[in-house]
């Protein structure tokens, strides 16, 4: 979905796990911010592909997910991600990883 406010801000939303996509046109965003969502997504490869679809060429995704965290279970809690796991998600979506960082370690 999409909502545009009178002062110009637009809010978009969609189902990250929908294999048919988010319902947002391709190449819409220069920047996608997705913090701490993917641990709650049951199909992370589909979800990352959907983010890649709406990202413009040369754009960036700022993405964060826990590697170590207590299971919360509500509403859903499926995955934890290592830096290699994140790179695999990105690769399968046709994305390159510019920078990855795992707290408590050196920058990768």
pLDDT at 100: 85
Angle 69-72-77 (CA atoms, 0-180°, nearest 5)? Answer: 90
Q: How many CB atoms lie within 10 A of CB 54?
A: 20
pLDDT band for position 108 (50/70/90)?
Answer: very low
Q: How many CB atoms lie within 10 A of CB 12?
A: 15
- Inter-helix orientation angle 44-54/83-92, to 10°: 60
10-69 pLDDT tens trace: 888 889 999 999 989 899 999 999 998 899 899 999 999 999 999 999 999 999 888 776
Give the helix/strand (H/E) hosting 14. none
58-107 pLDDT tens trace: 999 999 888 776 666 667 888 888 889 999 999 999 999 998 887 765 55
Alpha carbon dihedral 13, 52, 37, 108, in 10-degree steps, equals -150
């Amino acid at each position: 979905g999409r909502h545009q406010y009178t002062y110009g801000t637009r809010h978009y939303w969609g189902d990250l796990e929908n294999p048919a996509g988010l319902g947002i046109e391709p190449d819409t965003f220069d920047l996608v911010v997705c913090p701490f969502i993917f641990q709650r997504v049951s199909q992370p490869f589909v979800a990352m592909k959907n983010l890649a679809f709406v990202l413009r060429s040369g754009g960036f995704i700022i993405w964060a997910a826990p590697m170590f965290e207590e299971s919360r279970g509500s509403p859903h809690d499926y995955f934890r991600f290592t830096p290699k796991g994140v790179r695999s998600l990105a690769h399968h979506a046709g994305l390159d990883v510019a920078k990855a960082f795992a707290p408590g370690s050196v920058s990768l």
